[in-house]
Amino acid sequence: MKNPITHQTALLFTCSLLFIACSTSTNSRTEFAGASDAIPIGIAFAQTSNVALLGQEGTDGVKIAQKYFNDKGGINGKPIKLIFQDTGGDEVGAINAFQTLINQSKVVGIIGPTLSQQAFSTDPIAERHQVPVIGASNTAKGIPEIGDYVARVSSSVTVVAPYAVKAALKQNPQIKKVAVFYAQNDAFNKSETEIFQKTVKDLNLNLVTVQKFQTTDTDFQTQASNAINSKADLAIISGLAVDGGNLVKQLRELGYKGIIIGGNGFNTSHIFSVCRALCDGVIIAQAYSPEYPNAINKAFRQAYMAQYHREPPQVSAQAFAALQVYVEALQSLDKKSKINKLTLPQLRTELNQELLKGKYQTPLGEIAFTPVGDVIQKEFYVARLKMAADGINGKFSYQ
Ligand code: 1QQ
Query: Predicted confidence band at 50 (pLDDT cuts at 50, 70, 90)?
Result: confident
For residue 324, give Cα distances in angstroms to 212, 300, 361.
38, 11, 9
Question: What are the tens digits of pLDDT across the range 139-192?
Answer: 999 999 999 999 999 999 999 999 999 999 999 999 999 999 999 999 999 999
pLDDT at 243 over 70: yes
Domain extents in the chain: 39-155+292-376, 158-286
Instruction: Indicate the top mutation candidate among 57, 115, 195, 270 to test ligand 1's pocket, ranked by most ligand atoms within 8 A of CB.
Output: 115
Q: For ligand 1, say whether the CB of 285 is within 6 Å of any of its atoms.
A: no
| pLDDT at site 83 | 98
- Candidates 49, 50, 111, 114: which one to mutate for ligand 1, based on the most atoms within 8 Å of Cβ? 114
Per-residue model confidence (pLDDT) at position 232: 98
| pLDDT above 50 (res 4) | no
Are 256 and 235 contacting, i.e. CB atoms less than 8 angstroms apart? yes
Q: Which of 34-43, 114-123, 224-233, 384-393 has the lowest mean pLDDT?
A: 34-43
Q: How would CATH label the architecture of 39-155+292-376?
A: 3-Layer(aba) Sandwich (3.40)
**How many angstroms is it from 356 CA to the middle of ligand 1?**
22
Neighbours of 257 (CB within 10 A): 8
Paired residues of 210 in beta bridges: 180
> What confidence tier does 352 reach under pLDDT thresholds 50, 70, 90?
very high
From the CA of 265, give the closest atom in ligand 1.
4
Mean per-residue pLDDT of the chain:
92
Q: Give the span between the Cα atoms of 179 and 257, in whole angstroms.
A: 13
Q: Is 265 in the pocket of ligand 1 (CB under 6 A)?
A: yes
**CA 384 to ligand 1 center in whole angstroms:** 19
Same fold, 39-155+292-376 and 158-286: yes
Cβ of residue 189 lying under 6 Å from some atom of ligand 1:
no
Which residue, among 75, 83, 127, 128, has the nearest Cα to 104 in the 3D structure?
83
Please count the CA atoms within 13 angstroms of the CA of 385 that sit on its side-chain side: 33
Closest ligand 1 atom, CA of 157?
Answer: 7
CATH superfamily for 158-286 is: Response regulator (3.40.50.2300)
Position 203 scores a pLDDT of: 97
pLDDT-derived band at 32 (thresholds 50, 70, 90) equals low
Residue 329 carries which side chain, given as an amino acid letter?
Answer: A
Arithmetic mean of pLDDT, 263-270: 93
DSSP state for residue 362 in the 8-state scheme: E
Does the pLDDT of residue 366 top 70, yes or no? yes
Residue 149, ligand 1, Cβ within 6 A: no
Phi-psi category of residue 97: left, alpha or beta, with phi > 0 → left and psi -120 to 50 → alpha:
alpha
What DSSP letter does each residue of 305-346 carry, written as one string?
A: HHHHSSPPPHHHHHHHHHHHHHHHHHHHHHHHS-GGGS-HHH
Distance from C-alpha of 87 to C-alpha of 55, rounded to nearest angstrom: 9
Q: What is the pLDDT of residue 31?
A: 56
CA of 330 to the centre of ligand 1 (A): 27
pLDDT in tens, 219-239: 999 999 999 999 999 999 999
The DSSP secondary structure of 115-180, one letter per residue, reads -HHHHHHHHHHHHHHT--EEESS--STTSGGG-TTEEESS--HHHHHHHHHHHHHHH-TT--EEEE
**What's the confidence (pLDDT) of residue 156?**
98
